[in-house]
Structure 1
């Protein structure tokens, strides 16, 4: 998923002593107190935290960034979900079966699952949501994540004049009845079950969505099926989630309310944390991260993340269309200096786009691939001269590096700007814009160099490798190499892990050789958490999860 913040990582320390085991359970009825005297009213438990950008939409099929997914992961639930340990367990589904060839899946929904308005969650809501994402009229950026379905790509990419009703009916998802969802895949997908916990695969209340077209843009008509529901959204100011009393596992949810303030300035958020106005803050200012890390502050948490920080190079813009020029820009950056002196959050230099933490046939995919390019200022200078000459240029033209508003992104951009000036005699202008503006401009190709980040949607190299397939909606660099596409498609066409991994290693090496994107570092997620908040857990590819959090002041 698109990554908004500049640093990352959540602690692996999980506090579970004040809550039940967050695994599959059934609802229990609250017991009545034997003492008939009036009980004192318990203080409302409210978690206060920051979100660094205003969401574009809180519709599962229209969301595209972490500023949206963080809310969706707590207000919706898919067929499956993940435990704090990362295990895939039943969510809305009670169980599932699949055919021997792995192409046909049948999910049976749980009994008595409800939307936040009390209506039953049905298989029809899943079919509706998935086909909504694939409908080209809805322009879902994540529609490609449903190309695994039989007929999904054909429906989403249909041209004018096509029989859209027939194409829609041919998509491989069907509600056999209210409780049974049949899914047919176009090709074997080893990580499909993982995908069913991802937000693009969440259901949507069909009746509510059809009655209220703007339901996902405010709390007025918001209906969801997860632990919390959106109650209020003041655009660019705040969001309020409240406990969903109709959630089947509501007894595991200890918080009454979660209040987000929308702040794009890390220093402001940090000051609010220090004064007690916020209970959790992420991201932190870089200097604060360095200080907290060095002092072993007990409220400071840090851990691994499945994410990469990189720069897009618009390969349709001269001279970024030249491979040697792109290689020169990538080789002239001192990544170790950036992670040690700028980001300061325990990040590691990236010499590829696939981070550690993803299994290979044996071992770790990243470690098996090794460093896919080198840092060498002298060689970079020579390559730049050759590339510019091939494009008929005597010098590198003035260009703009665009990043979304953040002191962290600014500091990194300034460091790289200086490295390019010193090592290549290249002058780059820096430009900061709101996150949504950056996304829109990248989609339109209205940029030269842009800051980007990506958190893996699932734990497989493909979640990074397929980003730069020529047809990927997230291929903002406009990279187009038929050999790369063929390697990606080969890896997507088989359940044979050896064949898959070999193809993805070859694709990864080719991508770094041609360098349409420049990896900078692999994220961590440094954040601060008040000691009275327990039960926060940290998935490898998501922001801190608070559905099982508790507050005991």
Structure 2
């Protein structure tokens, strides 16, 4: 199993996994009968779980996997990541790139929004510049900084009119970059780069808060119902340019924040998919699901980590952060809690991008070193021992697996370091706001790659006030290395610069990496064509029931 896992990691550098349903032998004949009967009564209707209410369905404001799971089905960018994990033309039918690799000219297809309005180049220009407008608070604005003048407009008072995004006519979008960016057509498949119906958005700024005539999308599916805190319903978008390839007529997305309930609904035929990337399986059921041959596991470019608020005591002390990080027993968490073949993370960038990071920069569960760093940190704080530290708050969003991991680490820090930890949890949207506002000490988060390049795991830490940083940490040498990497055309030298940047993060540890992710799930045997990518998302454009 270990050999197979390593092989999969090496193969997933640029590829996605195209999933046809595996057999696997359901151990319970009654459960299989229920699923078959349920599906015969609902042809081409998919039921899944997304755990919780999406914080937003505005592509320009989205910053989380739950919102992204819905947006990926309802919207489409100039490009789309295909079944093989490669970007291909989507809203754009042709892409021309200048010889210096700085100017991209996208020629749009004759396409329509779900309400019949034409999708225009002006819709893209409007959406992207809206993200860059600092008044709109788009935390993912930095994903557009590859575009000329984008960072200046978002952070430094520059004019949006000077940004290198220009609709030459209804069907032609010209984009000028700051530097050659070989992965730019991967970026244009990401939700921050999706278009927005300009006419509707300008007339109704709240267009994205509910289903109805104001919510228009341009992807394979359209939003027909949003019962807040209950479910989202999507239906096939008859105006989608590639609708002939879309077989599903309906996707029902439930918001069930209990892993046991999710698995029970799957076994009863009420769900066709249970588990990641959009839901969660109960950790106590993992071994049984493996034994039954039902559990599917694939690695992807993602990391589970704890972020430190480096602006508050005692986490503003690097040695305290190092002590906490080194004292975590990652293998124990994987073997006893998650049980889905994750790799212990002693680095930031996944092994799918930097293969040497399967080993990492430091030893897992190095209690001896952790105690040395703790002693240094206590001396710098003027304390005699850990008992003089006030209890540290560890926050996480409500989910069984997050709770169990937090409890295990709470015990590790108490047992090995004598540090008292109090646990704190909230529902997802409330939790995100708490972390983003800096109202925390240590907080659980994860990161799944937005595109297949190491910079995606590093650039969020470029600026203390930047979107998705949340740690308050900033380092000038680190920033300079990222800037140099953006200008470096030699791939090997660029990788070396990014490795040096990663070394700085590991030396100062604004985050404690815990493990590199896998995707684990069970699915209806008659469900075919779902594409789970190496970036950890699921596309249903090509899905169907046999």
TM-score relative to the length of structure 1: 0.89
- 3-state SS in 2 of match to 1:95: strand
Q: Tell me if the contact between 1:83 and 1:89 (Cα under 8 Å) persists in the aligned partners.
A: yes
Question: For residue 127 of structure 2, what is the aligned residue in structure 1?
Answer: 129
Q: 1:376 aligns with which of 366, 379, 388?
A: 366
CA distance in 2, matches of 1:190, 1:87: 13
Match in the other structure for 1:437 = 430
Aligned residue in 1 for 2:532: 538
Q: Answer yes or no: is 1:325 the counterpart of 2:320.
A: yes
**Which residue does 2:3 correspond to in 1?**
none
SS of residue paired to 1:60: coil
Matched, 1:248 2:236: no
Deviation at 1:441, TM superposition (A): 1.4
Instruction: Describe the superposition over 1:255-302 as per-residue Cα deviations: whole angstroms up to 9, x where unpaired.
Output: 1110011111111111111111111112101111232124322xx221
Instruction: Report what 1:336 is aligned to.
Output: 331
Matched residue, 1:362: none
Identify the match of residue 389 of structure 1 among 373, 376, 379: 379
Q: How much does 1:382 deviate?
A: 2.1
452, 476, 485: which one aligns with 2:479: 485
Q: Partner of 1:475: helix, strand, or coil?
A: coil
Call closer, same or farther: CA 1:118–1:494 in 2, change over 3 Å. Answer: same
The DSSP-based 3-state class of the residue aligned with 2:19 is: coil
Matches within 5 A, 1:110-129: 110=109, 112-129=110-127
Q: Name which of 487, 490, 499 aligns with 1:505.
A: 499
RMSD: 2.0
| Alpha-carbon spacing, 1:368–1:412, altered in 2? closer, same or farther (3 Å) | closer
CA contact (8 A) 2:78 2:188 kept: yes
Q: Deviations over 1:165-197 (max 9, x none)?
A: xx1111100000111110011122121111011
Secondary structure in 1 matching 2:530: coil
Instruction: Report if aligned partners of 2:307, 2:511 keep a CA contact under 8 Å in 1.
Output: yes
SS in 1 for 2:517: strand
Superposition pairs of residues 197-212 of structure 1, within 5 angstroms = 197-212=189-204
Q: Aligned runs of 1:388-537 on 2, under 5 Å?
A: 388-394=378-384, 395=386, 396-471=389-464, 472-537=466-531
- Larger CA deviation: 389-398 vs 333-342: 389-398
Distance in 2 separating the partners of 1:67 and 1:435: 9
Count of aligned residue pairs for this structure pair: 507
Return the alpha-carbon distance in structure 2 between the equivalents of residues 138 and 315 of structure 1.
26
Match of 1:295 among 292, 295, 305: 292
TM-score by length of 2: 0.90
Report the equivalent of 2:58.
59
**1:231 and 2:224 are equivalent in the alignment:** yes
Secondary structure of the 1:59 match is coil
Q: Which residue matches 1:15?
A: 20
CA distance in 1, matches of 2:348, 2:64: 18
2:243, 2:16 → 1: CA distance? 25
Tell me the residue number matched to 2:145: 147
User: Helix, strand or coil: the match of 1:303?
Assistant: strand
The C-alpha deviation readout for 1:299-336, integer Å capped at 9, x for no partner, is x2210111000000111111211111111111111111
Q: Is residue 301 of structure 2 the alignment partner of residue 306 of structure 1?
A: yes
> Which range is displaced more, 48-57 or 452-461?
48-57
- Whether contact under 8 Å (2:20, 2:527) holds in the other structure is no
Rounded Cα–Cα distance in structure 2 between residues aligned with 1:369 and 1:343: 18
Q: Distance in 1 between matches of 2:319 and 2:299?
A: 33
- Deviation readout 1:334-368 (Å, 9 max, x if unpaired): 1111111111111110011111222xxxxxx2326
In the alignment, the residues of structure 2 paired with residue 191 and residue 491 of structure 1 have an alpha-carbon distance, to the nearest angstrom, of 13
Q: What is the distance in 2 between the residues matched to 1:106 and 1:94?
A: 11
Per the alignment, residue 80 of structure 1 pairs with 79
Within 5 Å, give how 1:25-64 maps onto structure 2: 44-64=43-63
SS in 2 for 1:330: helix
Find the residue that maps to 1:107 and give its secondary structure. Answer: strand
What secondary structure does 2:492 align onto?
helix
For residue 384 of structure 1, report the CA deviation from its aligned partner: 0.3
Matched residue, 1:183: 175
Q: How far apart, CA to CA, are the structure 1 residues paired with 2:237 and 2:416? A: 56
For residues 204 and 21 of structure 2, the distance between their equivalents in structure 1, rounded to whole angstroms, comes to 39
The DSSP-based 3-state class of the residue aligned with 1:498 is helix
Contact 2:53 2:228 in 1 (8 A): yes
Supply the distance in 2 between the matched residues of 1:16 and 1:295 (Cα, whole angstroms): 15
Q: What are the ranges of 5 or more consecutive residues in structure 1 without an aligned counterpart?
A: 1-8, 18-40, 359-364
Deviation, 1:373, is 1.5
Paired residues of 1:141 and 1:473 also in contact (CA < 8 A): yes
In 1, the alpha carbon distance for the partners of 2:435 and 2:481 equals 25
Q: Report the secondary structure of 2:76's partner residue.
A: coil
* 8 Å Cα contact 2:18/2:529 also seen in 1: no
Greater Cα shift, 265-274 or 368-377:
368-377
SS of residue in 1 equivalent to 2:446: strand
Kindly tell me: are residues 194 and 141 of structure 1, through their superposed partners in 2, closer, same or farther at Cα, counting changes over 3 Å? same
